[in-house]
Structure 1
Amino acid sequence: MTLLVTAANGHLGRLVVDALLARGIAASDIVAGVRTPAKADDLSARGIRVVEFDYARPDTLAASLDGVARVLLISGTDADRVSGHRNVIDAVRAAGVERLVYTSAPRVDEIDYALGADHLATERAIAEAGVDATILRNNWYTENYLDAVSRAAETGVIAAAVGDARVASASRKDYAEAAAVALTTDDLRGQTLELGGDVAWTYDELAAAAGEVLGRDVAYQPISIEDLTAGLQQAGLDAGTAAFVAGIDDAIARGALSQTDGTLARVIGRPTTPLVDGLRAGLNR
């Protein structure tokens, strides 16, 4: 059974490839879809077939899917990501791929937020296409906080406009292992899963974890959405981008990332990576 991992030279994609190999999948049965094959020489060196797979260029998709049984669609990062996702979905359907696994975002059908809207639109496109699919609604990656923690090494502060919200983050490796399970078994066929870490922590707890990793006092500083937006614009972001980024904090404040029920741990067969451990690994401390 041939498996194609899209965005395979990205942070998550590389970990999914590692997880597939760890599960005993032969390198020859893995296809690494990447936008720029020249940047994936290390994957080729491991015996993995590397193909050009650019969501925005449908001409790169069809040939790459020849003989592929299952595809992991890692969500794109382009501004018009939904169009690219639709291109992949259309190509998957035309190629007769037996299953599509998609990395979505948390609670997109419960809480309205800009980032979630793109993922919800993709989920609906998959359903409309009639493709056999597994939807993995990944909560936040602990690695998303590495920049904030690194800045706190100098400032002693983590500032955010999330109030007393909770975040059930897990490490990318945890989510990568779940994607590998979805690709290699039938256990999750046809399911939409909310995946998150075992513990939903507050930003005060994030600051405490950062302090433990950094070896210094770190405090959480709550700010308003308005102040966050203004600060982002002062840092050089245009008004639309600043509003989008600030909207993520607003969604967190409204509970978009607070849900955890142990599903991710059950899928991967072990506890998820604790916050402190994830930060320490990400910062090599």
Structure 2
Amino acid sequence: MIVVTGASGQLGRLVIENLLQTVPAAQIVAAVRTPAKVADLAARGVQVREADYNRPETLDTALAGADKLLLISSSEVGSRLPQHRAVIDAAKRAKVGLIAYTSLLRADTTPLPLGAEHKATEQLIAESGLPAVILRNGWYTENYLASIPPALQYGVVLGSAGEGRIASAARADYAAAAAAVLTRDGQAGKVYELAGDESYTLTGLAAEIARQSGKTVAYQNLPEADFKAALLGAGLPEGLAALLAESDIGASKGGLFDDSHQLSQLIGRPTAGLATLVKAALQ
């Protein structure tokens, strides 16, 4: 039985869709905070169990009988470590045969402050003694595609990444990789550095948006504080604005670049390129 936590989220749902291609629905558990959000999966035969990272008492039942567990990192930056610890402890009690964790690209050396909680979670998993595989996911291309509407409106892509190259990939590609790991033997002990086959700068992103839209769009590099202020002005919450600004600074230092092609090797096909994803976002 394969348990996927955070299964109502964007990545979790895509992982389950991939698993359903080769795994019987009854052997898949969607572990979610609010079961009603995945009623559609239950209707397709997927087991749905309540699993709240903040309520450890829900986790033993959620993981009962699990052969493999995909721990999708919490979205609550700053609170992740105790949440992840609760799941790892429950996995130990359930004697899970393999735990897979969605970490961050080069979590052990990344210049992104976001990496600290991921590195600490990897350490907790190592200390648990459970067989484990670490999926160090790079940036989602969708994080930057979200800037397309304002870029078209104002003619500018804002950021703090300088000329740092970004080897992002679509969320669907990371989901395919997670499903591949969960359905293959011999994964324990592996650490995958996962990123897109292509890389680009934010100048290149702006140029691609301009090329496909036929509008004038340029990249404007800002100091971290100014970029954060712009994000706050656009209505983003404080935590997310700080995270994105910090991450761009990390990107300027090479934190979002990787050319090992481990992601495409794992999924058995090229990752979706920037031009393809921009085209889809513009439609």
Aligned equivalent of 1:51: 49
Give the 3-state SS of the residue equivalent to 1:31 in structure 2.
strand
Q: 1:67 and 1:242 mapped to 2: Cα distance?
A: 40
Aligned equivalent of 2:59: 61
Q: Which amino acid aligns with 1:163?
A: G
Which is worse superposed, 65-74 or 225-234? 225-234
Which is worse superposed, 241-250 or 98-107? 241-250
Q: Which amino acid aligns with 1:27?
A: A
Q: In the TM superposition, what is the alpha-carbon distance from 1:145 to its structure 2 partner?
A: 1.4
Q: 2:134 and 2:176 mapped to 1: Cα distance?
A: 14
- The answer on whether the counterparts of 1:33 and 1:51 sit within 8 Å (CA) in structure 2 is yes
* Corresponding residue pairs, total: 282
Alignment map for 1:1-285 (pairs within 5 Å): 2-22=1-21, 24-78=22-76, 79-232=78-231, 242-281=241-280, 283=281, 285=283
Q: 1:112 and 1:144 mapped to 2: Cα distance?
A: 18
CA separation of 1:45 and 1:166: change in aligned 2, threshold 3 A: same
- The answer on whether the counterparts of 1:4 and 1:32 sit within 8 Å (CA) in structure 2 is yes
Deviations, residues 81-122 of structure 1 (Å, cap 9, x unaligned) = 111011000100110000000000112211243211011110
Q: 2:237 and 2:14 mapped to 1: Cα distance?
A: 33
Which is worse superposed, 243-252 or 58-67? 243-252
Query: TM-score, length-normalised on structure 1?
Result: 0.93
Q: In the TM superposition, what is the alpha-carbon distance from 1:146 to its structure 2 partner?
A: 2.3
CA separation of 1:151 and 1:187: change in aligned 2, threshold 3 A: farther
Identity among equivalent positions (%) equals 46
Q: 2:273 and 2:262 mapped to 1: Cα distance?
A: 15
CA separation of 1:87 and 1:167: change in aligned 2, threshold 3 A: same
Q: Which amino acid aligns with 1:133?
A: A
CA separation of 1:56 and 1:239: change in aligned 2, threshold 3 A: closer
RMSD: 1.8
Q: In the TM superposition, what is the alpha-carbon distance from 1:179 to its structure 2 partner?
A: 0.2
Q: 2:135 and 2:9 mapped to 1: Cα distance?
A: 18
Which is worse superposed, 186-195 or 159-168? 186-195
- The answer on whether the counterparts of 2:2 and 2:28 sit within 8 Å (CA) in structure 1 is yes
Q: 2:10 and 2:27 mapped to 1: Cα distance?
A: 21
Which is worse superposed, 111-120 or 258-267? 111-120
Give the 3-state SS of the residue equivalent to 1:122 in structure 2.
helix
Which is worse superposed, 143-152 or 190-199? 143-152
Residue ranges of structure 2 left out of the alignment (5+ in a row): none
Deviations, residues 131-160 of structure 1 (Å, cap 9, x unaligned) = 111100001111111221121121121010
Query: TM-score, length-normalised on structure 2?
Result: 0.94
Which is worse superposed, 117-126 or 227-236? 227-236
Give the 3-state SS of the residue equivalent to 2:49 in structure 1.
strand
CA separation of 1:274 and 1:233: change in aligned 2, threshold 3 A: closer
Q: 1:144 and 1:238 mapped to 2: Cα distance?
A: 15
Deviations, residues 223-265 of structure 1 (Å, cap 9, x unaligned) = 1123223434556778776544421111111111011211111
- The answer on whether the counterparts of 2:159 and 2:245 sit within 8 Å (CA) in structure 1 is no
Q: 1:221 and 1:148 mapped to 2: Cα distance?
A: 13
Q: 1:185 and 1:124 mapped to 2: Cα distance?
A: 24
Q: 1:235 and 1:170 mapped to 2: Cα distance?
A: 25
Q: 2:242 and 2:124 mapped to 1: Cα distance?
A: 26
CA separation of 1:236 and 1:86: change in aligned 2, threshold 3 A: same
Which is worse superposed, 108-117 or 66-75? 108-117
Residue ranges of structure 1 left out of the alignment (5+ in a row): none
Give the 3-state SS of the residue equivalent to 2:7 in structure 1.
coil
- The answer on whether the counterparts of 1:195 and 1:260 sit within 8 Å (CA) in structure 2 is no
